[in-house]
A and B are shown apart, each in its own frame.
Chain A
Amino acid sequence: MVSFIGMKSQEVAIKPVVNVTLKSDTELLDEVVVTAMGISKEKKALAYAVQDVKGEQLTQAASTSLSSALQGKVSGVDITPSSGMPGASSQITIRGVRSFTGDNTPLYVIDGMPITSAADIDTDTRNTGSVAGADFANRAVDIDPNDIESINILKGQAASALYGMRASNGVIVITTKSGKGAAKGKPTVTVNTNLSFDKVSTLPEFQKEFAQGLNGEFNPTASTAWGPLISELANDPKYGGNTANEYTNNGANLHQGQYYVPQRAAAGLDPWATPRAYDNAKNFFNTGISWSNNVNVAQAFDKGYYSFSLGNSTSDGIIPDTGMDRYNVKMNATANLSKNWTTGFSGNFITSKIRKQSSGNEGVVATVYGAPSSYDFNGIPSHVEGDPYTQNNYRTSVFNNAYWATENNSFTEQSQRFFGNAYAQYKTNFGTENHTLTAKYQLGADSYSTIYSDNYGYGDFSYKSGYSRQDDYNIIELNSLFTLSYDWKINDKLDMNILYGNEFVDKSTRITTAEGYNFNFPGWNHISNASVFQAEQKTKKKRTVGNFANLSLSWNNMLYFNATVRNDIVSTMPRGNRSFTYPSVSLGWIFTELPALKDNEVLTFGKIRGSYAEVGMAGEYFENQYYVPGYGGGFSAGTPIQYPFGSVTSYIPYYKIYDPNLKPQNTKSYEVGLDLAFWHGLVSLNYTFSRQNVKDQIFAVPLSTSTGYNEMITNGGAIHTNAHEITLTFKPIDKKNVYWDFGFNFSKIDNYVDALAEGVNSIMLGGFTTPQVRASIGDKFPVIYGSGYLRNENGDIVVDEKGLPQAGEPQVIGKISPDFRLGFNTTLELYKFRLSAVLDWKQGGQMYCGTMGVLDYYGVTQRSADYRKQESFLFELPAVKDNGDGTYSPNDILIKGENAYDYFNAMNGIDEASVYDNSFIKLREIALSYPIVETKGLNISANVFARNIIIWSQLPGLDPEATLGNNNMAGAFERFSMPGTSSYGFGLTFKF
């Protein structure tokens, strides 16, 4: 769609429509953006940082997920995907975090109405620290980037102040295609179709020399590949076809050159196999296929306009039986009823189904990566002959055979959602020239139901006789918004605007959960086959009433002042503590309007701006309550005790108590910034520094458990954030047939935990007892905590008498947040070709990568084989040995290659050995488009694109963005996570 602001008319005639918007984007000076509460303002009038992204930029590489479409394109925003799987969760935070364990993701506002974007289910609570089970999508997954006209990101609290408490994490304001500016008369139809292919982005390098086993001996059920040479398997004394053993009938039936594979026998195949190496991981992953289509019809009339679109996206993931199907229907219409009255509506209906697989301790990839190359993981059936419910695997414990798991375990999310609103607006100028009053009432609803279905088949390792869990989430949110705005042009130089608003939000949630354990018989993995049932119902209501006001003054196109105040009354806080009021002020000064600087040909625009804001965040308070206790956790793999016993059940006080003096957590922030444009936009620079001080965080403070309670929801703690954001754009060539622009988005966000509650030094965000991700005082947020290398007083790593590193005390072993992120975007147009690319660089920060440490320990990696083949080697980090007399000397104890297993075993026991630098550079997007047909009635353009195809990373063999958890631990913790993907594809756009 064409934005009609800031366009140069002579260029419209000769350029494809799509270019116009992009051009106007670089000329940011007069651009109008939608800020809080639907207020449109000239960008130059804003005294805080906002950044907008146009729809075309989002869809240039055909991303079907909004968060991946935004990667690298904005500053101050951290986007942390969990994997490359269809529908995978993705965590977006703006200018760091404000809450330790609560939601830090921004508010999404679509066409003037806030919608739910967070995940219903937190993997931390559901998947015991996010280390088991399947991921849970966030509800931003419902948004089709194709429907988006533009996105404006309100980064700071001053920008989002009018939205109140919900907006303390920033706001993503989305304006969908409305038909505004469409051609009058004939409707414009745009058909867009894209087909893309996904493959696993990177794989560890596997060794192909050594067979399954330990200590050089072949063992067909070992979890490790420290066996003999694969080429020697036929000579194995126990299983070799060349030797006299049990299977060769003591030499009577030799199978020369072959060896006996018990799993082949169990599967009913010829047990004798010729030794060779297999590409087990490569064979396992499929090529994922994604097909997305969007049809849009837009039309304008004399008294209104509409836009109607229908989209679908069908993806099959790289892991068997994973994928996502999504259908979006959207209708926007606006009617100008009279000179004063306008009415309109926006409605979206989405239905989606996501098919997932489990990760972490139940990770399907554990056996994919872990399978010794001597084992034909792909060829040998995953179950024993005649019994599909008894697994046949290269190892006998802990992990499911991946093929078996994808066939027998299913994890799905099925969702149906409607969100939209209708409004009526009355506008009058009282018959004057300089007074305008606008009253608008908008009523909206965001209503969805999602069914989460987890089914562990009969024969699974975690649930031996199966388990089924069905969660039905029904959420309805009503949003009523009344605004009254009054504009008064007081004189030639002074303008004033006053806005009053009232927002009323009523949200009700109902969750019904049914669980069935212990299937009666295999073959029917369904809750109706369970022999033990549990059901639960949770209902929750929440009401927020906000009253707000805004005062804007502008003087002489040079000074812009803005002040807001908002009061929220929230039902989820304790009586007497429900009402809160927060202010914000901002001031912008366009100094290039000074007579001395005006009409300067070099510095064509310059603005200094500053703002201050306070905003609160409410918690969830309940009266103390009783519940039916649950058993499990600790050493228990399942649920060892389940009430009721027959008809007898029990209720005990909940382990969590609520502080009746709970108050809202408070964020105070200020930001200062500078916007400069040189040579009429040839170079433009925006810089913002912001500081947030957040205190009185609401979280579950761990109690001394001798009180009889585990945790209390109360206030405690403080965190501060310093953020630097720079957006720098260049437009060096802007000729008739050649156009080139490029830009950088730089963010440096430093979050420090200043305090936690009294007596609390850390809060766990996820992971295991060790290693885990936690918030700890004085450290950047968050950190990895786990066993470090044993070090002496000097901090030198101390090896033992064999030269092996040793585990020391649990400690902070890694800092997760990066030093900076830098996105690079460029567009090059040559005649009718248009090439665009996005690069994303994350520098610094660390992650725990459990998989690589375990794979080395298993001996399946090339690295482990390389060490094994060496005569001897030294522990790879600088270290010292203990001389036994209190002194240390440099480590010179060589480890023999044949003892490489001991080395990797020792390393695997030290969490710090699995902490990696998480710096990477990714070629996020590269796309080329070309208009094939350009006639008056028909435009057809073709494009080819690729995403995430090149990764330069410090992490060997795995995608640094494939991690566990859909919450604040995202991006930090890897252990048999779902893999990342690279995509290639092409598409066509028809417009008539």
Chain B
Amino acid sequence: MKFTFKNIGKYLSVILMSGGLFACSEDIMDDINKNVDNAHDVDAKFILTDVITSTAFSNVSGDFNHYFSSYIEHEVGVYNQLWNAETRIQEVYSSTTFNNVWGNLYSTLKNARIIIDKCSDTGTQPGNYTTKGMAEVLAAINSALITDAFGDAPFSEAALAKLDNGKPQFMTPKIDTQKDIYTGIINYLDAAIEDLPKGDTHVTGGPDSQDILFGGDDKAVDKWLKLAYGLKARYLMHTLNKAENQTEVLNEVLKCIEKSAQNADEQATFAKYDGSSNKNPCYDFFDSREYLAASQSLFDKLNERNDPRISRVYVTALDKNSKGRQINNKDDESLLLAPNGKPVQEQRKYSTSIFGFASDAPTHLLSYHELLFIKAEALIRLTRKDEAETALKDAIKAAFANMEISVASGLKQTGYAITKNSSAALTASDAENYFINSVKGKFDADPLKETMIQKYLGMWGSNGETTECYNDVRRLQAEGKSLKDFYGFKNEGKFPLRAPYGGDEVSSNPNVQKAYGNGQYVFTEDVWWAGGNR
């Protein structure tokens, strides 16, 4: 073959053709790159389920509950990070401490807002008002968890439902004031109260069994509505000291409580734990870490009241085979309480509360006993003492019944063998007797103090209520009640007034970085509703 330019042309066309054979259009490439393993959109109800789970497991009863139990002496941190928190070093002001819960809260809030967005008139499931109302309730809870713990925080530019061309609308959300966030919270609840009864009218239907809080049956909507009212009572109480007309607010609180849960069956509680594949977060924390032990100051309060709970709620330090036994009574020689603020950093030295063993106890988003305690407090503040006394007595009864569920859970779990003592489960009449013999006198002497102490004792447990109790303590402290005299706290260290911002946010959002500074503000700056200004 002779080499000519004609031939070159022939070869070139072969080249180009072969190139063309293997080329690919954008459509084909899109098809190749399609992720077939994941859904790209789902109905709101499938999101709702995890908004409920994460609110309960990660946000209400997660790291907030663990650390705050050291702050307010429900428990004592005896090892590693919790010992550090107990002794008020680093963990208390470090941005790493609450980083996980920070991220979880905003992720949950965003997911709740996506549901609201989907079920709005302009969304993909317009007409699903009830589902929207549920998401509004959950958005309110998570917003309140954010601002109660962190104070001023990203809100209006944060956790938004929609992305802007694949990116968050605000890469570094600004900080909103707690006051503004509280306006948002009440708005969410008011919207929920309006939306919940309107039904789910979109063709995709309501959440049914995806509503794992109340089961999605025909009574569920009513319970959600009761939760919305109950939460409104709680959050109005949080901001009571900021109200211009406190009496008006307190009456509003009582009205809300009337429309909220009327018994424990109606309370908002996350009861999906089975103790093995799904674990109560307090149990999971104990089981994973063994960082908490029984608090001396809390025991002192029980002991001072000759409280029958003493023979129910304590367990000896575990032995090397991870076995323990229920403490018999206050004189049990194996009862070794951890001194608040100064425990020896050692595991399995001190007795523990039984609540860390309650592997399938539920997490309360809002318990019936909390509502009764709020009612009692509101009545006292309205100087309706007799009614308050009844409410408090009911609250204690409900709290006893609630505690026994956790005790039973702790005794029956199989990870650690806990030998029962001979005491019987406390009944309503035990609570009645306790009230008459131990509480009444103290109540008569100082009704607010005894109510708050009983609330403090009643919300100690496995149900994640320490998180809310920390708000009470700070609110009362802001009213001038001394932690030592009023609450009987014994930790000599500095009391943290709030949680430091999350580390991922501090390192990537200059607005929050500036607010965080060196983190020492947690010791000096009250949140807005506790009289502070940030």
Which A residues are closer than 8 A to B by beta carbons?
A: 221, 262, 390, 396-397, 428, 430-432, 435, 437, 464, 480, 482, 484, 500, 502, 504, 517-518, 531-532, 537-539, 541-543, 545, 547, 569-572, 575-576, 578, 621-627, 629, 631, 633-638, 640-643, 645, 647-655, 657-661, 702-710, 712, 758-762, 769
Contact = CB atoms under 8 A, between A and B. Distances in A.
Given A635-B285, A653-B111, A705 B38 contact: no
B57 A706 contact: no
Interface stretch (B188-196, B466-474, B505-513): B505-513
Contacts of A547: 19
Contacts of B429: none
Q: Which of A571, A643, A702, A762 has the most CB of B within 10 A?
A: A571
Given A541-B32, A705-B103, A706-B153, A649 B49 contact: yes
| Closest A-B pairs by Cβ, 10 of them | A708-B110, A650-B49, A637-B288, A650-B50, A625-B38, A704-B509, A706-B158, A707-B168, A705-B103, A706-B154
Contacts of A706: 102, 106, 153-154, 158-159, 173, 505, 509, 512
A640 B166 contact: no
A543 B285 CA distance: 46
A651 B171 contact: no
A704 B502 CA distance: 10
Nearest to A709: B168
B30 to A, nearest CB: 6
B415 A702 contact: no
A531 B102 CA distance: 33
Contacts of B18: 482, 502
13 contacts: A396-B348, A500-B15, A531-B276, A545-B23, A624-B163, A626-B40, A652-B47, A652-B50, A703-B508, A706-B512, A707-B170, A708-B110, A761-B507
Nearest to A809: B518
B341 interface: no
Contacts of A627: 38
B340 to A, nearest CB: 21
Given A626-B46, A629-B50, A708-B158, 13 more contacts: A397-B347, A431-B3, A464-B415, A518-B277, A569-B29, A626-B38, A629-B54, A650-B47, A705-B502, A707-B168, A708-B106, A709-B168, A759-B509
B22 A539 contact: no
Interface in B190-222: 209-210, 212
Contacts of A650: 46-50, 53, 210
Interface string B449-474: 00000000000000000000000000
A288 B506 CA distance: 50
B165 A645 contact: no
B504 interface: yes
A645 B272 contact: yes
B57 A651 contact: no
Contacts of B166: 624, 657-661
A541 B36 CA distance: 10
B3 A435 contact: yes
B1 interface: yes
B135 to A, nearest CB: 13
B107 interface: yes
Main secondary structure of the interface of A (DSSP, over half): loop
B424 interface: no
Contacts of A633: 100
Contacts of B347: 397
Contact of B507 (A629, A710, A760): A760
Nearest to A711: B504
Contact of A651 (B46, B106, B209): B46
A537 B212 contact: no
A951 to B, nearest CB: 35
Interface in B493-517: 502, 504-505, 507-510, 512
B384 interface: no
Contact of A545 (B24, B50, B170): B24
A537 B62 CA distance: 30
Nearest to A464: B415
Interface residues of B, number: 94
Contacts of B167: 657, 659, 712
A541 B62 CA distance: 39
Nearest to B24: A545
Nearest to B47: A652
Contacts of B32: 541-543, 571
A772 to B, nearest CB: 11
Q: Which of B103, B114, B509 has the most CB of A within 10 A?
A: B103
B505 A704 contact: yes
Contacts of A704: 154, 158, 168, 171-173, 504-505, 508-509, 512
B417 to A, nearest CB: 12
B288 A641 contact: no
B1 A431 contact: yes
A532 to B, nearest CB: 4
B78 to A, nearest CB: 13
A134 to B, nearest CB: 21
Contact of B107 (A428, A626, A708): A708
A319 B50 CA distance: 43
A710 B42 contact: no
Contact of A437 (B11, B54, B212): B11
B3 A625 contact: no
A709 B348 CA distance: 39
A535 to B, nearest CB: 12
A485 to B, nearest CB: 11
A517 B274 CA distance: 14
B163 to A, nearest CB: 7
Contacts of A502: 18-19, 22
A891 to B, nearest CB: 22
A687 B510 CA distance: 46
A420 B512 CA distance: 56
B278 A576 contact: no
B2 A572 contact: no
